[in-house]
């Protein structure tokens, strides 16, 4: 009950942090909004947009507008920048706070750890194409032929990548030293493939690109093996051991092994 009260209170306060096209990042010590369209620097920040969706606090309309602006202002062919636009130096009056040069690390760089959260947010909004685009864009293997530019191994995530306007744009920093791999695995398997454990059962809610015809997965969870087949069809449906089930949840009171089929509308 207490948690519900907190959630309801936060829900009521969402209008306070809505800036017209996205959610603000924070308030300054003097009470000014930080990351608004009126700022000279740091107008839109990646994290509050993604977490407004992941927290289930943003309504669908505001959430989609915010995530549209993530693609508009933060998207690059190498990943999503932390915020737009980066600041130079330390100038509190102009809300320039970062000590890193513009385009590096938390100051408008591509921070791969936080790139995973928009993937989840897009999937939660039913925007599988955008979720997969952001996922595919940050894959190290896509930089296999750019080693001279990125200066990192093409088989491991780096913590960050330098972005424009920095003179060393697209160079990676701190490979191996990041939680990105585990978060990317979670985003890909639980939100793009859409197979994730929830309180009452195994949720199967794929958000795959339109060009995919489907996929097969064997998922072992809570002592039960699920053989899951996702395919395209004319009518959406979930079938467990051949029987239709409403919704997208396979309850935990299952047999030891079961066949699960999910049909997505073409």
Q: What is the pLDDT of residues 41-66, one digit of tens each?
A: 889 999 999 999 999 999 999 999 99
Q: Which residues of the chain have pLDDT under 50?
A: none
Q: How would you label 37-49 residue by residue, b for 16+ Cβ within 10 Å and e otherwise?
A: eebebbbbbbbbb
116 vs 35: CA distance, rounded Å: 21
Angstrom distances, CA of residue 120 to CA of 90, 142, 215, 253: 33, 20, 19, 27
What local confidence, expressed as pLDDT, does residue 256 receive? Answer: 66
Residue with tokens 């062919």: 77
| Tokens standing for residue 190 | 């639980």
What's the full length of the chain, in residues?
A: 266
Pair of tokens at residue 161? 């990548």
The predicted pLDDT at position 262 comes to 87
pLDDT at 29 (0 to 100):
80
Dihedral, CA of residue 133, residue 139, residue 143 and residue 144, to nearest 10: -130
Give me the pLDDT at residue 260, please.
82
CA geometry: angle at 147 spanning 146 and 148, to 5°? 90
* 90: its two tokens: 């330390």
Cα of 173 vs its chain's centroid, Å: 21
Write down the pLDDT at residue 53. Answer: 97
d(CA 266, CA 251): 26
């Amino acid at each position: 009950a207490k948690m519900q009260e907190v959630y309801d209170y936060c829900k009521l306060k969402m209008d306070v942090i809505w800036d017209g096209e996205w959610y603000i990042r924070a308030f300054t010590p003097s009470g000014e909004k930080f990351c608004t369209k009126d700022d000279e620097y740091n107008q839109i920040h990646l994290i509050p947009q993604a977490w407004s969706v992941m927290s289930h606090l943003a309504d669908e309309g505001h959430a989609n507008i915010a995530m549209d602006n993530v693609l508009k202002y933060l998207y690059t062919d190498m990943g999503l920048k932390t915020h737009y636009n980066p600041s130079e130096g330390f100038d509190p009056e102009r809300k320039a706070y970062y000590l890193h040069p513009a385009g590096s690390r938390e100051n408008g760089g591509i921070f791969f750890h936080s790139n995973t959260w928009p993937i989840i947010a897009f999937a939660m909004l039913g925007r599988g194409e955008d979720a997969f685009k952001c996922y595919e864009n940050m894959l190290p293997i896509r930089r296999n032929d750019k080693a001279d530019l990125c200066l990192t191994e093409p088989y491991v995530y780096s913590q960050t990548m330098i972005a424009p306007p920095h003179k060393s744009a697209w160079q990676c920093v701190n490979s191996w030293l990041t939680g990105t791999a585990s978060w990317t695995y979670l985003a890909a398997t639980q939100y793009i493939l859409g197979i994730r454990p929830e309180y009452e059962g195994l949720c199967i809610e794929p958000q795959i690109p339109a060009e995919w015809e489907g996929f097969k997965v064997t998922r072992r969870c809570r002592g039960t093996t699920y053989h899951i087949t996702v395919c395209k069809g004319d009518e959406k449906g979930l079938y467990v051991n051949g029987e239709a089930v409403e919704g997208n949840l396979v309850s935990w009171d299952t047999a030891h092994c079961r066949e699960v089929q999910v049909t997505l509308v073409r």
